[in-house]
Structure 1
Amino acid sequence: MTVKEQATVSQVGADTALPDETAHRLGADMNKGLTTAEAQHRLTQYGYNEVAEHKPHVLRLFAKKFWGISAWMLELMTFLSWYLGKYSDMFVIAALLVVNAVLGFWEERQAQTAVDELKQQLQIQAKVLRDGAWGTVPARELVPGDILRLRTGDFVPADTQLFDGELNVDQSALTGESSDVTKAVGQSVSSGSTVRRGEASGIVAATGPHTYFGRTVELVQIAHPNLQIEEIIARVVKGLFTIVLILSLAGIAAAVYRRIPFAEVLPLILVVLLSAVPVALPVMMTVSTALGARSLSREGVLVTRLTSSESASMVDVFCVDKTGTITQNRLSVVAFAPADGFEEATLLKYGLMASQPADKDPIDMAFINASSARGIDMAGAGILHFIPFSPETRRTEAMVRDGEKEYRVIKGAVSTVVEMCGPDCAPADWIRTANDNFAAQGYKTLALAVAETSGPPRLAGLVALADRPRPDSARMIAEARALGIGWKMLTGDALPTAVSIAASVGIGGNVILAKDVRELLHENLEKAGRLIEKCDGIAEVFPEDKYLIVRSLQSIGHVVAMTGDGVNDAPALRQADVGIAVSTATDVAKGAASVVLTKEGLTGIVSLVKISRMVHRRIDIWVINKISRTLLKAAFVIGTFLVTGNFFVSAFAMLLLVFMTDFVKISLATDNVRWNPVPDRLEVAPLVKIGAVMGVLMVVESAGLLYGIIRYWNVPANAAVMVTVSFDLLFFLAICSLFVVREQGRLWESKPSRQLASAIGADILLVTALSLHGLPGLPGISFSLLATIVGYCILVSLGNDWVKVVLFQRDSSGPHGVK
């Protein structure tokens, strides 16, 4: 049988072939099973019952970290340092390159846990008929045509068509349905299901990646979320590179015009490139997101992929699974329709009598739990005989002795029980109206009847069951909406159930069927995304649908978070910008997700969004400051060279300046910014504009001070001390700029965090000491000259602060102020 034939046989709910036909097609013997030799041959033909991973070589993954704009800049500077004989600079820059590569490589390796978890679920034992005898083999060695025995508690290891027996299976992890499903002869049981009750034999129809479960695994492998932080870094680096490229070309053009040898210009290019490299950006982002993740862990939110503690700031759509996420994933008694002469308490008591606690049947447990909550018990009555549910009878019965009386209690499908009650049952119109009313609300309806030892039963009434929303679902959804986030509920349930749940928790009642958009999802993602954007939820979805729904929303510009708990949610969780697994999620879902909630329900999602937006604000502040300082340093170096023909900043001084200003800003990760009331956006242009204006101001201000020092302090432009003067001027302007841009209002309206203030204070003390005492290549200067530089930088920063306030008022996308 070809792979295509395997996939055709294995379709959820598509039991189109009779067991005999399936056995003939697969060459299976239902009495003796396959021979060992044939099983080995098929194992070679079809492969193991597992999903092969498509992993690039580890060295290739690591090598990719040395490719890209940021890496190219560092590599170019390493080469220039070597060419110019500046070996100390070369080793430092090379070390930065390697450290950044190692950190990036380690983060990428953590993203493969989902597939590993999925594969582990297939490493189980299976009872198989081979060579005419039953035996146990590893589930990974199952092949199409094997005869498999399934019993209560078994995890179904392969798609199997039953030819003997009957099973009650839990498919909630696959389909999202909270109720057990009965599988009889001729029907298929999907890999990934769990047998709740019964025993049956079946023919293995499909294995590994060709099963329903296996296709879900493959979707997880091919799902690739958009990494928002990586895009931010790429845009920032491109902007910085553009700035230094333009200024470097201006310097080279001037050198050519003056007929300066190119070898003398190379040190200038090296210094300018050093000014632009965001050496601390990856570290600052990692620290910021790690601290955010630590804060979230105290809120019951475990971040398994650090980028998610920042990416969540941009989420504007939550795609949420119903079963186990919005709802409790267990049936509850929600409504009653008692017949004449009966009360709700009586219905509950009858339902309790017709339930068997030992079976842990979801319907039985709903009556048991509801009775316990109301203080209803058997009141001394005893069960003489119990007949469990079966698909043929569609009911449970209990013979009860209550004192001197004996009677039967019947619980089952409405049509079955009403037929048993006969023509003297309750009015047909009343039954139909009550049943239709419950169905319209998405409830599962059962009928209860009671009968004397002889004679027809008497209808006691109807009881509605439903998988109720969690108590906190509506509140959390409302809070997220207040933060500008839309909701889409995705569920495998029928439309009435989906509409009822979505409306009850505040998502909305505009729910469509998956079949109405499925074809469009495969043909035109953007058009499908526009349609899905307008609805509140989608009912009767498959795992492939959820994955494509997430992609369709991403294709039209949405940043999507996906919440879920089951195997069927794993591909969408992995594809989403932020995948969130709830506390009751399977290991597969947790492995695919980037965020795991450790508390029940949706608790923690609002905290995730708020803290993530704070992380985003800190990064915005860093970007503005870095752009303004890069423009200042690059323009200062090029400008002084063009005007005087001298290098006012050496490569060593620039490298020291970059380290002391960039790495101190890692403490920005601790600053007390407040969150944006609407989703953040991946818009670097407004930040570049603000940073560029601030940078130009500082260039003009630095030129003014430099002119004053040369003119009134009588310091020659070619004096060695000018390197220290330039170093101090660039350093203190950068520090003052940080205080200016960290606050949207006036700079004195808020205090920096203790960690940020301490880091800046230590940096200032160190620079002061170096400036007064000097270093090789950085001569010492007088205290009065240093004080003049510091005072001037503080004074002009007050004017820059006024300009910044105007810029933020004109551009609403600027960072929000701090507390």
Structure 2
Amino acid sequence: MKTTLKTPGSNPSQAKPLAAKESTPTSVPDSLTELHVNLNTGLTQLEVSIRRKEHGYNEVTEQKEHPFLKFLGKFWGLSAWMLELIIVFSALLRHYTDLMVVSVLLLINAILSFIQERRAAGVVATLRRRLQVNARVLRDSNWQVIPSRELVPGDIVRARPGDIIPADFRLLTGTLTVDQSALTGESKNAEKTTGEVLSSGSIVRRGEGNGVVVLTGSKTLFGRTTQLVQMASPKLHIEAVISKLVRWLFVIVASLATLVIIVSLIRGTPLFGMIPLLLVLLTSAVPMALPVMFTVSMAIGSKQLAKRGVLVTRLSATEDAATMNVLCVDKTGTITMNQLAITGVIPLDSAAEADVLFAGALASQEANQDPIDLAFLAEAKKRHIFDNLAKVSPVSFFPFDAKNRRTEAVVEQNGNRIRVMKGAVQTIAEACGLLLPAIEVLEARVSEFAFKGYRTLAVARGPETGTPRILGLVTLYDPPRQDAKSLITALHDLGVPVKMLTGDALAVAKEIGQGVGLSNILPVAALKAASAQTGNKTFDILANADGFAEVFPEDKYLVVKHLQAAGHVVGMTGDGVNDAPALRQAEVGIAVSSATDVAKGAASVVLTEPGLTNILALVEQGRTIYQHVLTWIINKISQTILKASFVAIAFLATGQFVITASAMLLLVFVMDFATIALATDRVRPSKKPETWAIGGFVAVSVVLGLAMVVETLMLVWIGWSRFGLATDSNALCSFCYLILLYFGVFSSLSRRERRWFWSTAPSKTLIVALVAGAVAGTILTLVELPGLPSLPWEQMLAIFAYAMVSCLVVNDAVKVIMIKRLVPTSVA
């Protein structure tokens, strides 16, 4: 509906923002005159461009840490401290070669980490630009939805329940109940009437109305207090798993280091000279490449998801998506097209179809962009009834409320005020004073339409203060998406059953559910009744049900809580302000493409396209990242056991360190590239939900690490007895260095796959990283760095072949056998 309030013409060159007085009413004409805007047409694009040059975008510039300070931060932390200690002790011992090598490694590691974080920050910034609050604005006489950052002073905007106020604006029409707790800390809602200013960042809880923007960006109250807001950083499950893992690795390495120190003291070896190598042993337990690997993995995953219409707003969402084992979905817009169309008009008594549609259109608001309202307005326009709406002046409008289940308006026509309403049949019938027998007759007709999958609304009209008269019934249909059934089946095959939640009547829900493969739809009253009983009946109902009908938004929270109590990791889709508690409670809260700003703020994932396709992508990408991290864990455990045990046992057996500190650090650095490249590897997502109960994989990693220790020590014994290494400590160092290098390369190739290593091809990036690591590591011996002399090519070839056979034949077979016995579901 259009209002008929006349205002002065626009003059963009004279427009100035009004002072935002929080509670001082100002006359509507004065506000519009000062801002030079016409309430009926809004601003023109030319006026918007002029005002944006003066006031800028409606956003607060984020204060970023200086890049140089962020780079210096790379030299602070456990891994950096270990390397810096080695530098200090190398200087004290006058081991200048070690000092130079470690210094270069420390610098390169800092540069690589800094570059990767900058790239990841760029990805996050791009996603944040896509995930922004939208606003309904009137420009050039047309209502449209635009990003709120494009608002300028003088824009006419509309606010509805669930909206986050996008800028400070003065209310022109309507009465709103807003939540200002984000700004004031007060939980009590505030009532805002015509002339009052609503602050940016407030949330509309009830009512709707139009307003004119008076302040934008950093000039708003929200903008001035933005620096006080801190983003929460929830702890990830993987962080706890890796922290526990690193602690145990430190215990293992520290135990071996203590043993070496005790034996050295008994043999009379100077303790001071052992310190750099002991620090290197401890460094082998530090996840030096993990932050970069995890950052790269998350950045790549986020970019891939963004391309497929999924914006991740909370880091934990991708991880939780890998373990999610049940998904509750809204019917509208997820399973159905969210394109309501009127399929039939059934006038009652002496009313005509045109009367029913005319009254229904009067009880609708185009500015709200509500699917039901748009369906009525579209049908009225199609039947040329829409032209008559311009002859009616609006007086008041009451939007849909879940409690009264109807929309209502008072309009003036030919000097008379009339009241029109549309909504649930029983609600409208009771408002019209119908008796129970008459209501039962109407409900029977509603049930008849429901079996066809139609949703039925009633329309009524009457005097402003009297009892209205029901005019007729209107049936609407929102057809299922063509891909809904196949995608629900695909999610079920991935171990994620779908449960449909809808506010529709049971018959409508069953009809829609049958079409997409969800046959057992129950009324939500059955869940509530079971909840009041003792035992596990509630869980049994949830397990057997494919969905619930007649669901109020607050019921979704109840469903999520019951599923979590049953031990499920729950995903939940939603779009309304009342869905926010359920979205926040679920491990994976998913705001659909049509969601309100509050729902998007509560969710951890936001979809930019309708349907389930994007959720399928989220599950697959989450499980892909899980596999990358699991591969790193298996590699880290086995490699740490190999390096620490190899050096310690070889020292105890030979009485000398078989590898220098600088050579060990070169080895760690070279293999870091392969570790980072694991984030780009091509993996096969699991067909079942993942779990962080990875005791079986830890056992496999330990056995593989011990197997490599035995294999490498056998090769050292061969070199010691056959190649004369007993009398050439430098050659022994190169020999052991190449053993650890080639074992690291081939073991990484084996560990990336849970089955035989050839089951899937690695990514090109990983292949390049492994080849480059092997080649670069070999060249370091050929150029004869201090302490790393070159070896005869026969010895190098023998080490290479021995490592390849050990890792890709013997150890790969051990891996497959153990995984089948300890983790059988992982090789499905």
Establish whether TM, by shorter chain, passes 0.5: yes
SS state of the match for residue 238, structure 1? helix
1:703 Cα shift? 0.9
Tell me the residue number matched to 2:685: 675
Tell me the amino acid that sits aligned with residue 245 of structure 1. A
Correspondent of 2:458 among 436, 446, 465 = 446
Tell me the residue number matched to 1:728: 738
Q: For residues 111-510 of structure 1, what are the structure 2 equivalents within 5 Å?
A: 150-151=172-173, 159-161=189-191, 191=204, 195=208, 225-303=234-312, 308-320=317-329, 332-333=341-342, 347=353, 351=357, 355=361, 359-360=365-366, 363=372, 365-369=374-378, 377=383, 430-435=441-446, 443=455, 445-447=457-459, 462-465=473-476, 472-473=483-484, 475-487=486-498, 506=518, 509-510=521-522
Give the Cα–Cα distance (whole angstroms) in 1 for the partners of residues 458 and 337 of structure 2. Answer: 20
1:287 Cα shift? 2.0
CA contact (8 A) 1:357 1:368 kept: no
Change (3 A) 1:472 1:397: farther
SS state of the match for residue 433, structure 1? helix
**Is 1:739 aligned to 2:746, yes or no?**
no
1:650 Cα shift? 0.9
Change (3 A) 1:320 1:262: farther
Change (3 A) 1:632 1:781: same
Give the Cα–Cα distance (whole angstroms) in 2 for the partners of residues 104 and 527 of structure 1. Answer: 50
CA contact (8 A) 1:561 1:577 kept: yes
Give the Cα–Cα distance (whole angstroms) in 1 for the partners of residues 758 and 24 of structure 2. Answer: 84
Tell me the amino acid that sits aligned with residue 251 of structure 2. T
Any stretches of 5+ residues in structure 1 without a counterpart? 1-27, 33-52, 128-137, 143-147, 166-173, 175-188, 200-206, 210-216, 401-407, 451-456, 521-525
Change (3 A) 1:162 1:256: closer
Answer with 360-369 or 390-399: which moved more: 390-399
1:808 Cα shift? 1.7
CA contact (8 A) 1:236 1:684 kept: no
Change (3 A) 1:57 1:510: farther
Correspondent of 2:707 among 691, 697, 708 = 697
**Is 1:719 aligned to 2:746, yes or no?**
no
Tell me the amino acid that sits aligned with residue 758 of structure 1. V
Q: For residues 744-763 of structure 1, what are the structure 2 equivalents within 5 Å?
A: 744-763=754-773
Once the two structures are superposed, what CA deviation does each residue of 1:525-572 show, in whole Å capped at 9, x if it has no partner?
A: x999999889856944459x85x9878867876544443445555676
Change (3 A) 1:500 1:721: same
Change (3 A) 1:153 1:479: farther
CA contact (8 A) 2:89 2:276 kept: no
**Is 1:654 aligned to 2:654, yes or no?**
no
CA contact (8 A) 1:690 1:807 kept: yes
1:605 Cα shift? 1.1
1:720 Cα shift? 1.2
Give the Cα–Cα distance (whole angstroms) in 2 for the partners of residues 322 and 259 of structure 1. Answer: 77
CA contact (8 A) 2:480 2:512 kept: no
TM-score, normalised with respect to structure 2: 0.66
Tell me the amino acid that sits aligned with residue 521 of structure 2. G
Correspondent of 1:622 among 619, 632, 635 = 632
Tell me the amino acid that sits aligned with residue 257 of structure 2. S
Tell me the residue number matched to 1:38: none
Once the two structures are superposed, what CA deviation does each residue of 1:778-804 show, in whole Å capped at 9, x if it has no partner?
A: 111111111111122122231112211
Tell me the amino acid that sits aligned with residue 660 of structure 1. V
CA contact (8 A) 2:357 2:379 kept: no
**Is 1:72 aligned to 2:88, yes or no?**
no
1:753 Cα shift? 2.5
RMSD: 6.1
Tell me the residue number matched to 1:794: 804
**Is 1:82 aligned to 2:80, yes or no?**
no
SS state of the match for residue 726, structure 2? coil
Once the two structures are superposed, what CA deviation does each residue of 1:143-176 show, in whole Å capped at 9, x if it has no partner?
A: xxxxx854169996864548999xxxxxxxx9xx
Change (3 A) 1:339 1:573: closer
CA contact (8 A) 2:323 2:691 kept: yes
1:337 Cα shift? 6.3
**Is 1:806 aligned to 2:817, yes or no?**
yes
Give the Cα–Cα distance (whole angstroms) in 2 for the partners of residues 56 and 556 of structure 1. Answer: 44
CA contact (8 A) 2:359 2:461 kept: no
1:737 Cα shift? 1.2
Once the two structures are superposed, what CA deviation does each residue of 1:667-704 show, in whole Å capped at 9, x if it has no partner?
A: 22333221100111123432221111111111111111
Give the Cα–Cα distance (whole angstroms) in 2 for the partners of residues 549 and 339 of structure 1. Answer: 39
Once the two structures are superposed, what CA deviation does each residue of 1:70-100 show, in whole Å capped at 9, x if it has no partner?
A: 9435424533441342544664575557976
Tell me the amino acid that sits aligned with residue 769 of structure 2. A
1:632 Cα shift? 0.8
Once the two structures are superposed, what CA deviation does each residue of 1:237-290 show, in whole Å capped at 9, x if it has no partner?
A: 234323312322322333344454432332331121232332222222222232
Tell me the amino acid that sits aligned with residue 457 of structure 2. T
Q: For residues 516-555 of structure 1, what are the structure 2 equivalents within 5 Å?
A: 539-541=551-553, 546=557
Give the Cα–Cα distance (whole angstroms) in 1 for the partners of residues 628 and 640 of structure 2. Answer: 18
1:234 Cα shift? 2.3
Give the Cα–Cα distance (whole angstroms) in 2 for the partners of residues 412 and 154 of structure 1. Answer: 21
Tell me the residue number matched to 1:134: none
Give the Cα–Cα distance (whole angstroms) in 1 for the partners of residues 798 and 521 of structure 2. Answer: 68
CA contact (8 A) 1:399 1:409 kept: no
Once the two structures are superposed, what CA deviation does each residue of 1:118-164 show, in whole Å capped at 9, x if it has no partner?
A: 9998999999xxxxxxxxxx99999xxxxx85416999686454899
Q: For residues 5-44 of structure 1, what are the structure 2 equivalents within 5 Å?
A: none
Give the Cα–Cα distance (whole angstroms) in 1 for the partners of residues 386 and 102 of structure 2. Answer: 88
CA contact (8 A) 2:447 2:507 kept: no
Tell me the residue number matched to 1:581: 591
Tell me the residue number matched to 1:25: none
Once the two structures are superposed, what CA deviation does each residue of 1:17-76 show, in whole Å capped at 9, x if it has no partner?
A: xxxxxxxxxxx99999xxxxxxxxxxxxxxxxxxxx9x99999xx99x999xx9435424
Answer with 333-342 or 787-796: which moved more: 333-342
Change (3 A) 1:772 1:812: same
TM-score, normalised with respect to structure 1: 0.66
CA contact (8 A) 2:362 2:409 kept: no
CA contact (8 A) 1:338 1:461 kept: yes
1:368 Cα shift? 4.6
CA contact (8 A) 1:227 1:577 kept: no
1:458 Cα shift? 11
**Is 1:607 aligned to 2:617, yes or no?**
yes
1:311 Cα shift? 4.3
The count of corresponding residues between Structure 1 and Structure 2 is 691
Once the two structures are superposed, what CA deviation does each residue of 1:585-635 show, in whole Å capped at 9, x if it has no partner?
A: 445555665543232233311012113212222322222122211111110
